[in-house]
Structure formats: C-alpha cells, structure tokens
Structure 1
Amino acid sequence: MDLSQSSSDKSVMEISRKKGRDQVGGICDALLHRIKSDDYCGYDPYDALNSSLFSTLGGMRLRMARIAWQQLHRRSPINLRALCAIEKARNPKGIALMVLGLIERFEQRRSNADLDEAIRLGDWLLSQRANPQAWPHSAWGYNFHWAARAFDVPRGKPNAITTCYVARALLGLWRVTGERRFVESALDAGKFLQTLYMVQEEGVFYRYVPGESVMVHNANLWSAAIVALTASHAGDGAACEQALLAARHSAHAQGADGAWRYGERSHHGFVDGFHTGYNLEALSTLQGALATREFEQVVERGMGFYRQAFFEPNGDVKYYASRTYPLDMHSVAQAVITLLRVGGSDEDHELARRVIHRAIERLYLRSRERFVYRQGRYFSNQVNYMRWTQAWAFYALSLYGADAERRTRVAQ
C-alpha cells in the first residue's frame, strides 16, 4: 500500500471539504444579510388572509372562500400578494428559527454581533406573546389567519408548534446568556402547553390549537418535548409523566416500517419528510430531557425509515416518501437537522453534507442570495418566503457550519 499517496488523498479530501464548508459559510452570511435587509419581514405560504382586499370584498365571512383564497396564493408560482394588499411581516416562528441559527453561529465563531442580534430578536419575541388577558401563560401564534380543513385559527391565536419553537429559542438564549427573562418566559410557555393536554378514550395527547381536538403527531411530540424540558427544570414530576404518556400515544401510532401519518383525521394519511423529521427530533429531545431510553427503538426504527425513504443517492431530499418532487428547502433544512441532531453517525454527517451541497446546486439563487420555495419536475416556485424557506435554510446552514467546526476540533 502506498502510504504517501493515501496521506495525499486525505489532504486533498480535507482541502475539498474545507472549501465546501467555506462555501456554505459564505452563503449563510449572504442569506443573513438579505434577511436583515428586510428587517426579518417577509411573506408566508399561508398569509393570504392578511389581504385587506379580500377582507373588503367580504371573503373572510365564508369559510370555503377563506380556504380557496389561501390555497390560491400558496400554490401560485407568481406572487400576487402586493396586488392583493398583503404586507410583509415578521413571523414569531420564523424569528425563533433565526435566533436558533444565530446561537449556532455564536457558538461556532464567538461573534458578539451574532449574540447581540439573537438577544435583540429574543426580546422582540417576548414582546409578541399572545394577549395575556386571553392567554395567562406565555404563548405565540402566527401573524396571519390560518384556514385548514381541520380547524380555523384567527391571527395571533396561540398554537403548540409556534410556542414550542419560540420556547426552544428562549431556552437557547438563556443557555448562552444566563438571562432570567428568557428562561422564565420559556418555563411559562411550558405551562401553556400543559393546558393543551387532552384525555380521550383513544389516548392522551397535546392539542395543536386550544379548543380543538385534532391530534397531529408533530404538535403532540414537540409539546411533550418542551413540557419535558420545562417541567424537569421546574421539578414538576406530574407534568413530566404527562409528557411521557402523550409521547407514548404517538410512539404507538408509528407504523411497523417506522413511518408516521401526519395525524389521525381521515385526510391526515400522508407521510412527508419534514414532519417525520420533526417527530424524530422531538422524541430525541424528550429522551434527553427526561434521561430515558424508552423511545430508543422507536427513534431507531424511524431513522431507518427516514434515511431509506426520503433521500436520493445524489442528495436530493424527497418531500413525500412515495415521490421525489417537489424539492422543498423546508424539507432539506429539517433533513440536515435530523441527520445531525438525531442520527449523528459518520454516515449521517456525510449524507448531510451531500444534502446541503445538492440544495445549493438546485435551490439556491446566487444573484438574489436566497433559496427558492419549491422545485418541481418541470418548473420552480421562486416566491420568497421568510418563515417557510429562508429562516429554515439559515438555521440549517448555521447548524451545519457549527457542527462541522466542532467535528474538526475533535479530529485535531
């Protein structure tokens, strides 16, 4: 064996990987600059009901009209929002993702600018909690009225997923700053999530939206994970036990192949990549919070299905298990997060690298310094969505960069 050649090959490979990391870092920098230039405001696939034109025409009075109007804008590859008087705005979940990404960058680079920006955005989140007269515990909702088949949610009404991501951002800020206002609000958010706990004959779970009985696995599992984190910090054993019971409900709903339907309604039978990733990350987080290995086989089975079902050999991330298209940066971002945070093997890190570089090749618009919303087989939807696309991309790229830096330090 030619050892000198082998050493040379390794050096070339390391130089190539360093160039790849530098490219990812440069794109992350450009993306952050672009987002900051808009003051973190943007459009969202589901913001159509913010249209003052639609409201003036009386469309808000008809539920089916609301759903149709929302779907028209979500599916259209042409952005009609400016024509329909829909303004760009900040979204609490999008801001929470930006905070999570900025914390990753701070831990990688130790840049006070990143930390100061994360704190500034964290304080904005604290100012945006749902009306305390209606909701006594800290909670957050979307900045738009949201019409779905299962429920209809007014603008600002809190929901489980937005509250979970904001709580994660606040806990992250507390970890790196020690500032009590962040952890106190996060702990209070955990109490709000506890109010969503529901007992039915079919089982116990956390609701997605207050007052609704819809069971959605990612909302249930992330609520269980955040309740586990906050309740264990507060020493609330009863709430920790409720979190375990709710997680068991979704764990038992996992298919023999490791897949999860989105939820338990008749129209929730689809299996997609980013919700699968949510479920796996939430279960992994819950296990860490409660120091349990109870769901280890569930996670291992789910990760096996996830790796097999949602990745093409070239690094493309599939939206649905049954077909490749559309390619969606939201799916890409959660894939990177799941592979690094839940998987963690050398193979997972290599797959995450391929996924990132394939996404840059196919979904990144260099001239505009942002990512497209979706790439279909024959055309792409390039509407610029802040929460759904750019914030997720920023968080994933930041996490990837920080993880690569940590692995490099360990290797040295």
Structure 2
Amino acid sequence: MTASGAATRPLETPERDGEGRRVTDDEAARALEATLAYAREREYTGWDYFDGMSSRFRRWLPVENKWLNIAVQEGIKRFPVNVRRPMLVEQRQSFKGTALFVMANRAAAERAADEGAPESNRLDAEGYRREADRLSAWLVENRSRGYAGFCGGHQHATQGLDERLPARHPGIVSTGYAVRALLSGSEASGEGTRVPDRFDGLDLDAAGSAEGFAAVAESALPFVFEDLNYRETGETARIDYHASAEPGETTVINANAIGARLLLDLHARRPRPELRERAERILDYVAERQAPIGGWYYTDPPSASHLSMDNHHNGFVLESLLRYREVTGSTRYDETLERGLRFYRETLFEPSGAPNWDETSAYPKDVHAAAEGIVLFSAAGDTAFASRILDWTLSELYAGDGRFRYQKRRFYTKRFTLMRWCQAWMAFALGEYLRARRREESSKD
C-alpha cells in the first residue's frame, strides 16, 4: 500500500522471448549473505570506481595540473586490469557504498528473521540489524561538515574538466542514498513519525537509535534547498549535483530525480505538502526532458556530457518516478513511466537480462547497470525480469565467495572487484529483490 492508501501496482511491461533460469529465493539469499560477509570481513573498505586521485604516486609528483590529474584518474579507471595497487591507490570506505550496505544488511535481517537459525558462518537477524546500525552511525560520523544540513560525498578527491573537488565534497546522489539508509532503520523497527520540526542545535553525533537516525535524515532538507541551490523556473524546479556557491548552468537529470526522491522519502515519513510540491516541480522538470524514444540523457543540455542515455542513470530516474507513485498514489507520471520502462527494458537490456551500456552500445556490460536493473524491476513489480538479470549476473560476473567482478567487455572481462561499484550495489540489489519476492509471496496468502 502507498502512504495514501492506494495499492501499488506493477507497471505493464512487454513479454520477451529468451527467458533465463529463475533464480530461487534461497540462491539469492545465499548470494546476499556471502556478498555481505565479503564486505564485512574487509570492514567495507576497498577500491572504488573513481578513486585515481587517491594515488600516492600522483600526490608525490611535484606539480599540480588538471590534465595530469585527469590522465591519472581516467587511466586508472579505464585500464584493462586493476593497476590501483602498483599506483598506490588508497583503499577507503565509501560513503554511498556504506549507505547501500546499511540497506542490504536490513534486508538480510528480514530474511534471517524468516529463516530462523543461520549457518555457522552467517549472522542472525539481530546481528544484521546491529551491523546496519553500526554502519548508520558511521554515515553520521563521516558526513560532510560545514553545510546547511546532513550530507555526504566521496571520501576521495575527484578531478573534473571544470574543477577539482576535494574529498567529502557533498552531492545529492551520495546524500540521497544516505538518507534512505538512515530512514530504513525506522521503517524496519516500525517506529512512528516523531521527528523534530526544527534542527537548530540538533546533535547529529548523538544519533544512535532508529528515531535518531531518522532525525539526522530530516536535517538533509536545508542542504538540498540551500547548498544545492533549489530554484524554481515557472512550474518546474532544479537543483545542482554538488554543493556550490552559485547555481550551475548544466543540470544532471538523474541527480535531480534522486533529489526529488529524497523529498518524497521524508514526506512519506511525515507528510508535508511543501515537500510533495517541490518534489513534483523537480520531477516535472525531469519528465519534460524525456527523449522521444523514452530515455533520458545524462545532462541538460545533452551536449554537456560524454554520457548519453546510459543504463544505470536511467534506472535512477525511473526509480524516483516509481517512488512518487508509491508515496502519493497519484498517476501524474504514469505515461512517462510506461514509456521510460519500455525503453529501459527493450533498449538498455537484452532479452537474456544482460545490460547494455546505453541506447547505442551493448558494451561494456557493467555490474552496476545489472544491479540497478534488478533494483528497478523489483520495485516495478516485475521480479521475473529482475531474476533474469540476476541470473545473467551470477553467470557472467560472479567470481564466487561473495565477490562480483566489475565489467564484461566485448573480448575480455575486467575481473577485479570494487567495493562500492560491485559489492555494495549487488548486495543492495539482492536485498531489494528478496524484499520484492517477499511482498509477492505475501500477496498470495
């Protein structure tokens, strides 16, 4: 049921030939447990997709140059094998990755509670809940400080064409997932909606309970409205991707969708008309940018980015539109959703469940794209296609022992593992798939 009492219905999606094997719930649960165990044994610390600026080799160089930074960063990211160790790239715990691991641990706790006593090398339900709480506290402790509200970002510096962002420079994507993670504890515990109306003087570091974490999540609102330059133009609104002093000229479409979802997640906890209205303004802007073929370019204007209608960013947009319908019960974006999901399934995935890179390129086939597909189709009520993607991923990118490989290229596979990009996303995807299957089975009773 939605917050308004309307039932959430699965989207209509076309039937496709070439169905893969249906992954059993027990198989998915074992994969989730193993993936979390792999991360837990390493304290959720590892290399990341965009972490080349963490190279000690680069920092030892006696010059600071944008193009040198980009060469090192992009070279490490794009090389066919993992050169992070010889390049002395530091391993860190990712802020967004930790948020994903929080939600994956909550899902594992729900599954463990249903299953009873675990195997000797697995946690029980209470163990997973404690792990989720511990990681939630880490998010609070490692937030970006000096901003209007709760927020977070990469734990390493990044170099763009326009600017170099320092470590922990906050953005809406990392913050949006952290808010979801902090709210997940109160959803799991069934605690009510007692959150303060004001956050002046709120001691974020004192948060240690589900209700405390939810209060921290609420404090992200000033960050969105002030630091991300929420601004209205006519009937629509936009925000920036990263905290900045002045509004940016380029708009990142999926980041705006994630920002709208943050508002909806908080509105779902304690309804406020102004949050729904602002979320609608942002989503109206996003919906207006849908291309005739059904997808979204990465930026507005499209020419501002080398990315086109890539896979996982389109998934983020659709997730946010689905969340709007779930929270409000409104059909406001249903036509947009139907076109978008059809494009997502028919163009960005193969009938086998293999993810395509974008609307024109089949490769690389990326584990993050597969994970987001599992999440999105699970949320849309199409667990059959989510299972097909999961089956492909386990066959092509699973190395065993809870470890997922990064990417399948046309003639070779990048077999190394990235803690956020591979492990956190697949743990989250497996958890969301199992939750969707649980809802599906419960509806049959």
The reply to whether TM is greater than 0.5 is yes
> Could you tell me how far apart the structure 1 residues matched to 2:56 and 2:429 are?
34
Instruction: Indicate whether 1:56 and 2:60 are aligned.
Output: yes
> Could you tell me how far apart the structure 2 residues matched to 1:48 and 1:393 are?
22
For the 8 Å contact 1:98–1:391, the answer to whether it is kept is yes
Instruction: Indicate whether 1:130 and 2:166 are aligned.
Output: no
> Could you tell me how far apart the structure 1 residues matched to 2:387 and 2:267 are?
35
Q: Which of 184, 187, 190 lines up with 2:215 in the alignment?
A: 184
Aligned residues: 388
> Could you tell me how far apart the structure 2 residues matched to 1:151 and 1:234 are?
38
For the 8 Å contact 2:354–2:392, the answer to whether it is kept is yes
Instruction: Indicate whether 1:217 and 2:248 are aligned.
Output: no
Cα pair distance change 1:288/1:402, threshold 3 Å: closer
CA deviation string 1:196-251 (max 9, x = no partner) = 24437696301101115131011101101212332564554334322211111111
1:188 CA displacement: 0.5
For the 8 Å contact 2:370–2:393, the answer to whether it is kept is yes
Q: Which of 363, 373, 386 lines up with 1:335 in the alignment?
A: 373
Q: Which of 384, 390, 394 lines up with 1:360 in the alignment?
A: 394
For the 8 Å contact 1:105–1:402, the answer to whether it is kept is no
The correspondence of residues 211-250 of structure 1 with structure 2, limited to 5 A, is 211=244, 213=248, 214-231=250-267, 233=269, 236-250=272-286
CA deviation string 1:152-193 (max 9, x = no partner) = 321111111000000000111121233221111110112211
CA deviation string 1:18-45 (max 9, x = no partner) = x733222222222211111111001011
SS at match of 2:312: helix
| Runs (5+) with no aligned partner, structure 2 | 1-20, 114-124, 192-209
Instruction: Indicate whether 1:199 and 2:211 are aligned.
Output: no
Q: Which of 135, 144, 152 lines up with 1:140 in the alignment?
A: 152
Residue of structure 1 in register with 2:435 after alignment: 402
Instruction: Indicate whether 1:270 and 2:308 are aligned.
Output: yes
1:72 CA displacement: 0.4
Q: Which of 74, 77, 80 lines up with 1:71 in the alignment?
A: 74
CA deviation string 1:361-381 (max 9, x = no partner) = 111112x53111000110111
The amino acid across from 1:181 in the alignment is G
Cα pair distance change 1:274/1:102, threshold 3 Å: same
> Could you tell me how far apart the structure 1 residues matched to 2:363 and 2:81 are?
19
1:325 CA displacement: 1.3
Instruction: Indicate whether 1:350 and 2:384 are aligned.
Output: yes
For the 8 Å contact 2:180–2:265, the answer to whether it is kept is no
For the 8 Å contact 2:370–2:390, the answer to whether it is kept is yes
Cα pair distance change 1:235/1:401, threshold 3 Å: closer
The amino acid across from 2:131 in the alignment is E
Instruction: Indicate whether 1:41 and 2:45 are aligned.
Output: yes
Residue of structure 2 in register with 1:6 after alignment: none
Instruction: Indicate whether 1:324 and 2:354 are aligned.
Output: no
The amino acid across from 1:226 in the alignment is L
Higher mean C-alpha displacement, 397-406 vs 379-388: 397-406
> Could you tell me how far apart the structure 2 residues matched to 1:261 and 1:320 are?
10
| Runs (5+) with no aligned partner, structure 1 | 1-15
User: When you count helix as a share of all residues, which structure comes out higher?
Assistant: 1
Residue of structure 2 in register with 1:8 after alignment: none
> Could you tell me how far apart the structure 1 residues matched to 2:56 and 2:388 are?
43
For the 8 Å contact 1:187–1:231, the answer to whether it is kept is no
Residue of structure 2 in register with 1:10 after alignment: none
1:334 CA displacement: 0.4
Residue of structure 2 in register with 1:292 after alignment: 330
TM-score by length of 2: 0.82
SS at match of 1:287: helix
Tell me which of the two structures has the higher relative contact order, counting C-alpha pairs closer than 8 angstroms and 6 or more residues apart. Answer: 2
For the 8 Å contact 1:336–1:396, the answer to whether it is kept is yes
1:282 CA displacement: 1.0
SS at match of 1:156: coil
Counting aligned pairs with the same residue, the percent is: 26
CA deviation string 1:1-56 (max 9, x = no partner) = xxxxxxxxxxxxxxx85x73322222222221111111100101111111222112
> Could you tell me how far apart the structure 2 residues matched to 1:332 and 1:88 are?
24
> Could you tell me how far apart the structure 1 residues matched to 2:171 and 2:353 are?
33
For the 8 Å contact 2:155–2:167, the answer to whether it is kept is yes
> Could you tell me how far apart the structure 2 residues matched to 1:333 and 1:314 are?
15
SS at match of 1:359: helix
> Could you tell me how far apart the structure 1 residues matched to 2:265 and 2:421 are?
25
SS at match of 1:365: strand
Instruction: Indicate whether 1:174 and 2:160 are aligned.
Output: no
For the 8 Å contact 2:148–2:222, the answer to whether it is kept is no
Residue of structure 2 in register with 1:257 after alignment: 293
Q: Which of 132, 141, 163 lines up with 1:118 in the alignment?
A: 132
> Could you tell me how far apart the structure 2 residues matched to 1:56 and 1:313 are?
48
Residue of structure 2 in register with 1:162 after alignment: 174
> Could you tell me how far apart the structure 1 residues matched to 2:347 and 2:152 are?
33
SS at match of 1:96: helix
For the 8 Å contact 2:357–2:366, the answer to whether it is kept is yes
